[in-house]
Structure 1
Amino acid sequence: MTEKPIAPLLACLMFLLPLAACSHTEPLETVAVTSSVPKPAPMTDQSVIADTVGNAPVGASTLAWANPSTGSAGVIEKIDAAGDGPDGCRRFVTSSQSLEGTTRFDGVACPADGSWKVTGAPGLH
C-alpha cells in the first residue's frame, strides 16, 4: 500500500476552514439611528387659506389652495380689504372641498405674529 501525503490534505483544510467561518448566518447587529430633527406639525386648512390670502394682492380672485396634511382643497373667489383700519385685514370668499363635501364661506384673514390668521371661517380644520 502506498501512503498518501497528508500535507496537501492539511493545506486544503487550512484553506477551507476560514471559508466555513464566513458562512455564519446570524444577523448583523446594527445601531438604531434616530432622527434629531422634529417633524413639523401638520398645517391646518385655516393656516393654508390665511397664507394664500395674505400673500395675494387685494382684489385677486380665483386662487387655488390645497392642504396636503388634510386632503382639503378649494378656490378663493375674491379678496377685498377689510375696512379702513390700519390692521391690514382682508375679507375673502372661498370654497373648501374635503371628504365631507364642498362648503363655501366668507372669512377674514389678518396679519398676526409674523403670519396670517383666519377669523370668521367656521367648519375649517
Structure 2
Amino acid sequence: MALIAKTVGRTSKTRAFAAKGLAILGLAVMLSGCTSSLDLFGGSKVDRMSTGTIPAKRNPTALSDEVTVQNAVSSADLSKVSMSPLPWANTTTGSAGVVSSIREARTQGHICRDFTTTRHSFEGIAQFTGQTCLTNNGSWMLTAFDRQ
C-alpha cells in the first residue's frame, strides 16, 4: 500500500477553492429564479399573454352618490327648503353631504333644478354643482354633476 503525502497548506487551499466554487454555483442557482437570462434547467415557462387597454370606468361609489343627491334634490319641497341646507347620506357608500342651494327653472320646456352640494367620502371632501330635469314620463334625470 502506497501512501501519498500532501502538505497541509495545499489541502487547505484546495478546500478554500472548492468552497468558493460552491458558493458561486449556489448564488447562480438562486439568481436563476429571479432572471430569465440564467435559466439553467431549460425552457422558460413565462406566460407571454398580452392584454389590451381596459377603458376607464366611472367610480361606482361616485355614481351611487350622484343618484342619492338627485333623489334628495328632486324630492325636496322648495317652498320649505328654499335656501336652507338639505343634508343627504348614502348608506351604501358611507358618503354624506349637504345641498346648499337649489334653484328651479324651466329650461327648453322642462323643469330643471340646479344645485350645489358637498360630498364627504373616504376620498375627502369635495364640492359639486349639478342639474336634474323632469322628463316627459315624469321621472327625474341627472343632466350634470361636476366636481368643482
**Alignment TM-score > 0.5, same fold:** yes
TM range, normalised to the smaller chain? 0.5 to 0.7
Residue 53 in structure 1 maps to residue 77 in structure 2: no
* Gap runs ≥5 in structure 2: 1-60
The superposition leaves residues 85-107 of structure 1 with CA deviations (integer Å, 9 ceiling, x where unpaired) of 43111000000000000000111
Q: CA deviation at 1:80?
A: 0.2
Counterparts of 2:67 and 2:116, CA distance in 1: 15
Q: CA deviation at 1:60?
A: 4.5
Letter paired with 1:54: S
Superposition CA RMSD, Å: 2.3
The superposition leaves residues 40-94 of structure 1 with CA deviations (integer Å, 9 ceiling, x where unpaired) of xx98111111111011133353000001111110000010014454311100000
Letter paired with 1:106: T
The superposition leaves residues 17-61 of structure 1 with CA deviations (integer Å, 9 ceiling, x where unpaired) of xxxxxxxxxxxxxxxxxxxxxxxxx98111111111011133353
- Which structure has more relative contact order (CA 8 Å, sep 6+)? It is 1
Aligned to 1:121: 145
Letter paired with 2:68: V
Count of aligned pairs: 82
* Gap runs ≥5 in structure 1: 1-41
SS at match of 2:73: helix
Identity %: 37
SS at match of 2:84: coil
**58-67 or 79-88: bigger deviation:** 79-88
**59-68 or 46-55: bigger deviation:** 59-68
SS at match of 1:122: strand
Aligned to 1:72: 95
Contact 1:51 1:115 in 2 (8 A): no
TM-score, L = length of structure 1: 0.56
Aligned to 1:44: 64
Aligned to 1:89: 112
Question: Computing the radius of gyration over CA atoms, which structure comes out larger, 1 or 2?
Answer: 2
Counterparts of 2:141 and 2:125, CA distance in 1: 22
Task: Give the structure with the higher percent helix.
Answer: 2
Q: Match for 1:107 among 127, 130, 146?
A: 130
Contact 2:129 2:146 in 1 (8 A): no
Counterparts of 1:80 and 1:55, CA distance in 2: 13
